Amino acid sequence: MSKPKVLVTRRWPEANEARLRDLFDVTFNADNHPLSPAELQDALRNYDAVLPTVTDPITAEVLSVEPLRAKLLGNFGVGFNHIDINAAKARGITVTNTPDVLTDCTADIAMLLMLSAARRGGEGERLVRAGQWTGWHPTHLLGTKVTSKTLGLVGFGRIARAMATKAHFGFDMPIVFFDPYPPTQAVIAHYGAKQVDRVEDVLREADFVALHCPGSPENRHLINAERLALMKPTAILINTARGDVVDNEALIQALKSKTITAAGLDVFEGEPNLNKGFLELDNVVLLPHLGSATLETRIAMGDRVIENVVAFFKGETPRDRVV
Ligand code: DGY
């Protein structure tokens, strides 16, 4: 039997690409450029499976291609807000993702942003590199203490809980959270977490607010000017979820006017073309979507996609089927 024809939209770690070469009739994106809508449509016309990632907007328009050959979108990543899931379903395409394997590393980046924004790590690094450090003094670059402060979580899924583990058990931080689909009481009790009924309650109570909800039309601009105004003036916002969960312009205004103290961001509206207003601010730590970016995790993500594709072509239900 001939091997399934598979297109991988971006380069993966070498270990994954070697496995893909063994298993499938695979095509890689040699120069690793983000594919255009027309290139994505060509892929759907010419391959049995397309393995996209967060930089590939697979819209209803892209999915309307004729003739359609692809039967599977094996997404490299847990978030799938870049894929029009309803349109995929309507066209009979199976979509899979890669949960679990990136949980810890993404939570680590949320911790890094929380610590860095609180302790002014970015500012300190820039100062030293610019040769402008004139020496220690008692009031130099004073930040905000993290240990024992309250961490507010918007969403209490896998990544939020991994952050809660590090923050609660490592930094002695009480946890308050809002999630429309909360975990069991046993899980909540494990963290000694306080569950609240509305996102506004988290914003009012927390010293640090970390966003861990999915990117979706419903969550677009969940954190807007009105909600930012509910946060403590000493509070710090962390976003490792999706850029458009926060109204980026409203956040820039809130950081400028000191409505909140600082922010740590790994994701942006319109990334990589982030709002230039962020670049003028010292009280924001900016990372280029590094949540899952460790070699171990990226290999594990690739392996998880491969597992899903193999199962699909064996006629089984892939472990991480989304639709
Ligand atoms: C995801 O998996 O959705 C991340 O944003 C990329 O790791």
Whole-number pLDDT of residue 109: 99
**Does residue 208 lie in a domain region?**
yes
Whole-number pLDDT of residue 283: 98
Tell me: do 91 and 211 sit in the same domain.
no
Tell me: do 90 and 109 sit in the same domain.
no
Query: Is it the case that residue 281 has pLDDT exceeding 90?
Result: yes
Joined together, the tokens standing for residue 83 give 């894929």
**Could you tell me how many residues make up the chain?**
323
Pairwise CA distance, residues 233 & 239, whole Å = 18
Report the residue among 78, 245, 297 best suited for mutation to probe ligand 1: largest number of ligand atoms under 8 A from its CB: 78
Tell me: do 108 and 245 sit in the same domain.
yes
| Residue 300 CB–ligand 1 contact under 6 Å | no
Tell me: do 262 and 152 sit in the same domain.
yes
**221 confidence band (pLDDT: 50, 70, 90):** very high
What lies within 8 Å, CB to CB, of 253 at 6+ separation is: 225, 259
Ligand 1 atom at shortest distance from the alpha carbon of 76: 2
Q: What are the pLDDT digits (tens) for 293-314?
A: 999 999 999 999 999 999 999 9
Tell me: do 204 and 84 sit in the same domain.
no
Whole-number pLDDT of residue 265: 99
Q: What are the pLDDT digits (tens) for 101-141?
A: 999 999 999 999 999 999 999 999 999 999 999 999 999 99
Report the domain count for the chain.
2
Q: What is the mean pLDDT of residues 28-42?
A: 98
Whole-number pLDDT of residue 172: 98
Alpha carbon 240 to its chain's center: 5
Amino acid identity at 293: A
- The catalytic residue among 168, 242, 298, 304 is 242
Whole-number pLDDT of residue 1: 77
Token look-up 């994701």 returns 267
Whole-number pLDDT of residue 174: 99
**Does residue 127 lie in a domain region?**
yes
Tell me: do 137 and 259 sit in the same domain.
yes
Domain that holds residue 141: 103-286
Tell me: do 92 and 133 sit in the same domain.
no
Q: What are the pLDDT digits (tens) for 237-252?
A: 999 999 999 999 999 9
Full-model pTM = 0.97
Phi-psi region of 181 (alpha: psi -120 to 50; beta: other; left: phi over 0): beta
| Residue 78 CB–ligand 1 contact under 6 Å | yes
Q: Identify whether the C-beta of residue 4 lies closer than 8 Å to the C-beta of residue 24.
A: yes
Strand partners, 176: 152, 194
Pairwise CA distance, residues 81 & 83, whole Å = 5
Whole-number pLDDT of residue 209: 99
| Residue 155 CB–ligand 1 contact under 6 Å | no
Respond yes or no: is residue 289 known to be catalytic: yes
Q: What are the pLDDT digits (tens) for 164-210?
A: 999 999 999 999 999 999 999 999 999 999 999 999 999 999 999 99
Q: What are the pLDDT digits (tens) for 41-98?
A: 999 999 999 999 999 999 999 999 999 999 999 999 999 999 999 999 999 999 999 9
Tell me: do 132 and 225 sit in the same domain.
yes
**Does residue 319 lie in a domain region?**
no
Q: Identify whether the C-beta of residue 243 lies closer than 8 Å to the C-beta of residue 184.
A: no
Tell me: do 142 and 108 sit in the same domain.
yes
The CATH number that applies at residue 176 is 3.40.50.720
Tell me: do 119 and 262 sit in the same domain.
yes
Tell me: do 17 and 64 sit in the same domain.
yes
Measure 135 CA to ligand 1 centroid, in angstroms.
40
DSSP string, 76-110: BSS--TTB-HHHHHHTT-EEE---STTHHHHHHHH
Q: What is the mean pLDDT of residues 276-284?
A: 98
Q: What is the mean pLDDT of residues 221-247?
A: 98
